[in-house]
DNA sequence: GCGATAAAACTTACACCGCTAGTTTAACGG
DNA sequence: CCGTTAAACTAGCGGTGTAAGTTTTATCGC
């Protein structure tokens, strides 16, 4: 086969298949050959649509960010909007935990990331924060959301029971996988509450 | 050569060389062959000391955590100790940004991580927090420290200037690399302040 | 309608990867 | 002194990302 009558690939199809593969089997399962097979194609054909594998992963990550709901920034005061945005942000990331490591690292140069940043900074500046402060607040939210979505706590805290003798407090650490997810969620809720409460207080005090 | 008169490798030497390599050239530069070359040895020889490459990386990560100063937990009230610990934690991670992705993901099953967790949970519980709350607070601190140490903001926010027309607020985002580091540091300081202030208030209110 | 051009798949191949297996040789314990 | 253990080796497997060149089809200007 060469130059089939019906085109087999599009960027969209590739991103879709890559997302499904990463969601189902993790980032490590995403190889160009494997992805191509999934699409009924040979490995190098992907390079007609993406320059590198990293570009494919970037596109997958951007597709995730696209799902985050930023509409609250138009409809609510900055604090409430921030809360709703963060909650949507985390909800989306939690549905694609295998993509979170990518989002936690690369700076978002892609369209969806830029659009999200624009919405956040815009709303905060409109709300009376300086650009510098808006940047800090946005970064903080990213730490909180990505950190609690990495699922690193959920990856298990299975410890050799003999260690409880030398580390007595760890005996009380949550052990079941379900509990670990609850830890990440609880920490996120606590952090979100503390941050927004604190920011609101500072905002009112005019210590800005 | 086979079974040299003088032993060439130890676990310590391997971890040391691996750390140096990762610090200098990043995680991707760490291959078993490359690391072995650096040690004047052939690739597979490493497997006499570590079962897998992942184990080597784990050891590198643990060596980083080992440097975090947890001594404040014995010497200060929980809030002040938490602040000092977080600052040391971040200072150490910032010196080894290429290792942070590893620390952000895997749960710390290794000795130094366990010891650190034990110190944190112990101090918080002694300070009057429940185990559940201590877990949340510890997780929160981890999000803050790892997030702000990833250097993802510092990786550059170089944006096509034409995009400033469609994303006007981004024009004001910091652009120089030095500024990006300052963003991460500023966000960390702000977050730490907000979290500890908020936690102290809750602690005093007895809403625990 | 036809020839040139561009495009979308292909095959082949390179350099590198983590890791296994089996081999050599030096050091150590009885 | 001899057998065992251990620390290096070499060879090689199956996999990776991707570059290069090939084939075939569709598209467009004349």
Integer Cα distance of B208 and B203 in angstroms? 6
Distance from CA(A60) to C1'(D23), angstroms, rounded: 32
Strand C-proximal residues, CB under 7 Å? A 1-4, 7-9, 36, 41-45, 48-49; B 2-6, 30-34, 43-44, 47, 51-54
pLDDT in the model for residue B159: 64
Residues in CB range of A192: below 8 A, 6 or more apart = A83, A86, A87, A144
CATH number corresponding to B11-50: 1.10.10.60
Q: Where in chain B is the domain with CATH 1.10.10.60?
A: 11-50
Does residue B77 surpass a pLDDT of 70? yes
Computed from CA positions of residues A158, A161, A167, A172, in that sequence, does the dihedral angle turn out positive or negative?
positive
Distance from CA(B44) to C1'(D3), angstroms, rounded: 27
Q: What would the pLDDT profile of B147-160 be if each residue is shown by its tens digit? A: 999 977 655 556 66
Say which residue the tokens 């300070």 belong to: B127
Q: Closest Cα partner for A74 from A34, A123, A121, A33?
A: A123
Q: How many CB atoms lie within 10 A of CB B39?
A: 18
How big is chain A, counted in residues? 208
What does pLDDT average to over chain B? 90
Lowest mean pLDDT among A66-70, B46-50, B108-112, B141-145: B108-112
Mean pLDDT, residues B10-24 taken together = 97
Residues in CB range of B169: below 8 A, 6 or more apart = A117, A118, A121, A122, A125, A131
Per-residue pLDDT for chain A (208 aa), expressed as one digit of tens each?
Answer: 678 888 889 999 999 999 999 999 999 999 999 999 999 999 899 999 999 999 999 999 999 999 999 999 999 999 999 999 999 999 999 999 999 999 999 777 889 999 999 999 999 999 999 999 999 999 999 999 999 999 776 555 566 677 788 888 877 776 655 678 899 999 999 999 999 999 999 999 874 4
- CB spacing of B107 vs A157 below 8 angstroms: yes
B166 vs A98: which has the higher pLDDT? A98
Integer Cα distance of B70 and B86 in angstroms? 9
A208 → chain B, closest CA residue: B190
Does residue B117 surpass a pLDDT of 70? yes
Q: What would the pLDDT profile of B185-197 be if each residue is shown by its tens digit? A: 999 999 999 999 9
Q: Where in chain A is the domain with CATH 1.10.357.10?
A: 68-205
A131-149 and A177-205 helices, crossing angle to 10°: 170
Q: Closest Cα partner for A97 from A147, A60, A151?
A: A151
Mean pLDDT, residues B63-82 taken together = 97
Residue A187: left if φ>0, alpha if ψ -120 to 50, beta else—which one? alpha
Residue B3 DSSP class: S
CATH number corresponding to B67-205: 1.10.357.10
- CB spacing of A174 vs B143 below 8 angstroms: no
In Å, how far is B6's CA from the nearest CA of chain A? 36
B168 → chain A, closest CA residue: A118
**In this structure, what is the dihedral angle of CA atoms A180, A183, A185, A187, given to the nearest 10 degrees?**
-150
Does residue B118 surpass a pLDDT of 70? yes
pLDDT in the model for residue B207: 47
Mean pLDDT, residues B70-95 taken together = 97
Could you tell me the CATH superfamily of domain A68-205? Tetracycline Repressor, domain 2 (1.10.357.10)
B208 vs B64: which has the higher pLDDT? B64
Say which residue the tokens 């609510």 belong to: A76
- CB spacing of A173 vs B109 below 8 angstroms: no
pLDDT in the model for residue A109: 83
In Å, how far is B58's CA from the nearest CA of chain A? 14
Contacts 24+ apart (CB under 8 A), B89-93: B89/B141, B89/B145, B90/B145, B90/B148, B90/B149, B90/B188, B92/B64, B92/B65, B92/B67, B92/B68, B93/B64, B93/B145, B93/B146, B93/B149
Q: What would the pLDDT profile of B81-92 be if each residue is shown by its tens digit? A: 999 999 999 999
Integer Cα distance of B77 and B191 in angstroms? 20
pLDDT in the model for residue B86: 98
Contacts of B144 in chain A (CB under 8 A): 140, 143-144, 147
B171 vs B47: which has the higher pLDDT? B47
């Amino acid at each position: 086969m060469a130059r089939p009558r019906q085109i087999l690939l599009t960027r969209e199809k590739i991103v879709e298949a890559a997302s499904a593969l990463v969601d189902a089997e993790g980032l490590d399962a995403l190889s160009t050959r494997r992805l191509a097979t999934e699409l009924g194609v040979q490995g190098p054909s992907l390079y007609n649509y993406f320059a590198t594998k990293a570009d494919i992963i970037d596109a997958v990550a951007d597709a995730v960010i696209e799902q985050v709901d930023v509409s609250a920034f138009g409809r609510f005061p900055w604090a409430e909007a921030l809360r709703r945005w963060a909650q949507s942000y985390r909800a989306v990331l939690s549905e694609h935990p295998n993509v979170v490591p990518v989002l936690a690292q690369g700076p978002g140069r892609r369209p969806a990331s830029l659009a999200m940043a624009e919405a956040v900074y815009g709303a905060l500046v409109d709300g009376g924060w300086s650009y510098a402060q808006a940047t800090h607040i946005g970064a903080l939210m990213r730490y909180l959301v990505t950190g609690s979505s990495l699922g690193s706590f959920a990856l298990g805290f299975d410890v050799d029971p003999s260690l409880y003798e030398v580390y007595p407090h760890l005996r009380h650490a949550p052990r079941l996988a379900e509990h670990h997810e609850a830890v990440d969620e609880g920490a996120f809720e606590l952090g979100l509450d503390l941050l927004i409460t604190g920011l609101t207080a500072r905002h009112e005090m005019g210590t800005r």
